[in-house]
Structure 1
Amino acid sequence: MNTSFLQSHRKWFLVLAFGLSTIATSAFAQELKIGFINTDRIFRDANSAKAAQAKLEQEFVKREKELTDQGNQLKAIADKLDKDAPTLSEAQRNTRQKQLVEQDRDFQRKRREFQEDLNVRKNEELQQVLERANKVVKQVAEAEKYDVVLQEVVYINPKHDITEKVLKVLNSTK
């Protein structure tokens, strides 16, 4: 029964196969224009990204210096405790060790808070750079009639890389 079904509907299968091949051929006949954008390079080379980095450095330099100074003070206190330990009474040594532990705990907390604040601000700044870059990517894609622009790929032929074009537009405008 299967063979008779195929024989009786063979004409329809041929028409369907011909129709599908015609659709596939016409779809592939139109050239698909693909572009690629390297976001790491945008974050590194775009003037807006460099300005964001400078802004972050300026914003956090004071706190970073305070943490460095506090870390150096803690090291000096620990070194002094090690040096003085043989001449101290057990009560004095325990008191100074407790103070050192409390100061270190405070230092670690401040360092964690600093890192969290820095990460939050960095993400905010990079998000602004990315939003602006995405607008420029869209402008370039529309102007040059790209069908698809990819950001993350395993491999791309360098001829499809439009990062330089996007950087030129990004860096030419405020």
Structure 2
Amino acid sequence: MGENIAVRVATPDDVDRLVEVHTQGRLAYYTAGGLSPEEVDSPVWRQERHTGWSRGIESAQQQVWCATLGGEVVGAAAMGLPHAPEVDDGATGQLFQIHVLPDRWGHGVGGLLHGVFLRYLAEVSRPTGFLEVWERNERARSFYARHGWRPDGTSRPGPAGSRYLNLRLAVSAGT
């Protein structure tokens, strides 16, 4: 802790670094959950991540933020209105993803990016947050629980016979 981590809106110039942060984070938590690196990463998936981050940055419906340390991107977050119509009840904003370089875990990067999401919810006047988390990603599940997220009882299929759990966060006024 005590490091000078800054958060800012991501730009198209950040996309390659966002892909790298996303890839390193995914490799760490999916392999910890029992998947092989080959099941998590490939040139095709890196290209899909590149396309996804680029679209997010260009989208008027999403916000993409990055956390930097010494000018280097060490974390990323994407948020917006929910994609799934069954989720968007007019009161919900979605945290699509937070990724932090594994060697920066525990240094406050994720917490700063989570704070950006809380500010986003206030800006768009949505009192509820929604996200999906892989059930085997114990570190992320613990992080979100510490920040007040709770399972809503729904899920969807995930890799290797697992699930993606849906979490909700009720935001109080003034958060």
* TM-score (normalised: structure 2): 0.18
Greater share of helix? 1
Greater share of strand? 2
The structure number with the bigger radius of gyration is: 1
Q: Which has the higher contact order (CA 8 A, sep 6+)?
A: 1
* TM-score (normalised: structure 1): 0.18
